[in-house]
A and B are shown apart, each in its own frame.
Chain A
Amino acid sequence: MSVSEMFAALQGALGQDQDIREEIRKVVQALEQTAREILTLLQGVHQGLGFQHIPKKCQKAREHFGTVRTQMESLKTKFPADQYYRFHEHWRFVLQRLVFLAAFVVYLESETLVTREAVAEILGIEADRERGFHLDIEDYLSGVLTLASELARLAVNSVTAGDYSRPLRISTFINELDSGFRLLNLKNDSLRKRYDGLKYDVKKIEEVVYDLSIRGLNKEATVGAGGEK
């Protein structure tokens, strides 16, 4: 084969590669759009009135995740199944965001940490690499860390809205999450950087809890909120 033929073949391969990337980018854009919609929807819980409508909002968000699942389906068809990590960068960000959103919904519903399998199911993908388009563990963990900062914010806003018991529950949850992350030996990568932010979220929530306790608001709150419910 002559040199120019070789380069022509290589160019062909690279061109195909670019086409695939272009296709992926389109789907990812649609996914980002859906993710933004879900986020806007869930942002409502931070407003005073939003606290009463949490189940309804979660319901709506779950409907949106249906769209996510169909978009994921189409993303899967855009590239060869065994080359996930070749194009990983393209959907990494949006996937992390979707993990966060799914985790947020699950937290609001049941106040538990969503498992990796459950997120995969919500998003319509696999938890395991062997079975196709999957959720990378680092992306899952990143999404969970985003949840932590969102909950720190929620703790503050729930106090403003007069829900004094929620921060205590969030505090327990975040503390457990923190000790979970302590178990991991993270490399000096982006996940580690995000993890380093977790301690500020923990601190923030502890401050909220502290503010409530010195004013005796937490006990009153548990009684009050219990009565409301």
Chain B
Amino acid sequence: MSGKEGSGGFRKRKHDNFPHGQRREEKENVNPPSALMKSFKSFQLELDTRHDKYERLVKLSRDITIESKRTIFLLHRFISAPNGEEILSESEVKLDAVRQKIKQVAQELIGEDMYQFHRAISPGLQEYVEAVSFQYFIKTRSLISVEEINKQLIFTAEDREETTNMTSNSHDKQPHTWSLKVTPVDYLLGVADLTGELMRLCISSVGNGDIDTPFELSQFLRQIYDGFTFIGNTGPYEVSKKLYTLKQSLAKVENACYTLKVRGSEIPKHMLADVFSTKTELIDQEEGLP
């Protein structure tokens, strides 16, 4: 204890006799900003700008995620509802709103390296891919391509009429298009999520007494699964992680088809849903084991 006090005393003395000159010099260096301080001031500005942009993008990404999720929920209602067309057009409206957000993202990224902020926007983009490909599947029963998705993400300034007074000159139009490209990896991860939705779609369509959709879905899922196995571990780690979930979804759908085939001929249609739900429970239990 006393030693500590002692050193404290010395410390004070050190302040007294040591660097008087030096301290003052240092202060002089700090007050009229030295070159070092000036450059750190500019670093502060640069880092703050970068962090702000990142935060804005994270927020946008979150909004995109939420809206895309809602669109997916909406699309799940499509099967059961009699007014299918209405829901489809409503989903289109919702997706347009999402695209507006993506446009803002694209605007934020003008002149930037997209990959620098990729981590901020990646979750949102994946969710968007999921929503858009789900809608596309319901409409066309096929898989949307990356190119197709990217084509929808080219924005022009047409809906910012307030500023068009100046920009309506034709040569000014060029810089007023923004585009955002979904990366192959984001696309893959989005498609992997899509398979989960398709599995849900399959189960619920059985509940509605729809016998054809499950077979169609199992066909489609198998194609996607083959595609993923073809990619295998060429892709990044996340992709191979999703592969496991994909396998489970596929198994569920295939089992569903199996049940339909075996039991379908024996059981009256209105009871199919019951048989089926017990079957899926069984699968769930099995999966819970390992």
Within the assembled complex, what's the spacing in Å between the Cα atoms of A80 and B30? Answer: 42
User: Cβ of A6 and Cβ of B145 under 8 Å apart?
Assistant: yes
Q: Which of B63-108 contact A (CB under 8 A)?
A: none
- Which chain A residue shows the least CB distance to B11? A210
Contacts of A110 in B (CB 8 A): none
Contacts of B26 in A (CB 8 A): 172, 175-176
User: B36, B41, B146, B226: which contacts A176 (Cβ < 8 A)?
Assistant: B36
User: Cβ of B14 and Cβ of A10 under 8 Å apart?
Assistant: no
User: B29, B41, B184, B224: which contacts A183 (Cβ < 8 A)?
Assistant: B41
Secondary structure at chain B's binding surface: helix, strand, loop or mixed?
helix
A228 on the B face (CB < 8 A): no
Interface size class of B (residues with CB under 8 A): 35 or more
- Residue-wise, chain B 233-262 has the 8 Å CB interface mask toward A (1 for contact) of 011000000000000000000000000000
Within the assembled complex, what's the spacing in Å between the Cα atoms of A174 and B230? Answer: 55
- Which chain A residue shows the least CB distance to B50? A137
Within the assembled complex, what's the spacing in Å between the Cα atoms of A172 and B30? Answer: 11
Interface size class of A (residues with CB under 8 A): 35 or more
B228 on the A face (CB < 8 A): yes
Interface centre among B10, B30, B36 (most CB of A within 10 A): B36
Interface centre among B13, B48, B228, B231 (most CB of A within 10 A): B231
User: Cβ of B230 and Cβ of A177 under 8 Å apart?
Assistant: no
Within the assembled complex, what's the spacing in Å between the Cα atoms of A6 and B224? Answer: 10
Given contacts A129-B113, A137-B47, A186-B47, whether A4 and B34 have CB atoms under 8 Å apart is no
- Which chain A residue shows the least CB distance to B48? A185
User: Cβ of B39 and Cβ of A7 under 8 Å apart?
Assistant: no
A122 on the B face (CB < 8 A): no
Contacts of A11 in B (CB 8 A): 230-231, 234
Contacts of A210 in B (CB 8 A): 10-11, 14, 18
Given contacts A172-B22, A185-B51, whether A213 and B115 have CB atoms under 8 Å apart is no
| 4 extra interface residue pairs, beta carbon distance < 8 Å, beyond A6-B227, A86-B115, A116-B39 | A4-B226, A6-B143, A10-B146, A183-B43
Selected A-B contacts with CB under 8 Å, 20 pairs: A3-B223, A3-B224, A6-B143, A6-B146, A7-B227, A10-B146, A15-B234, A86-B113, A86-B118, A88-B115, A88-B116, A137-B47, A137-B50, A172-B22, A183-B37, A183-B40, A183-B43, A185-B47, A210-B14, A214-B10
Binding site for B on A (CB under 8 A): 1-4, 6-8, 10-11, 13-15, 18, 82-86, 88, 113, 115-116, 129, 137-138, 141, 168, 171-172, 175-177, 179-181, 183-187, 209-210, 213-214, 218
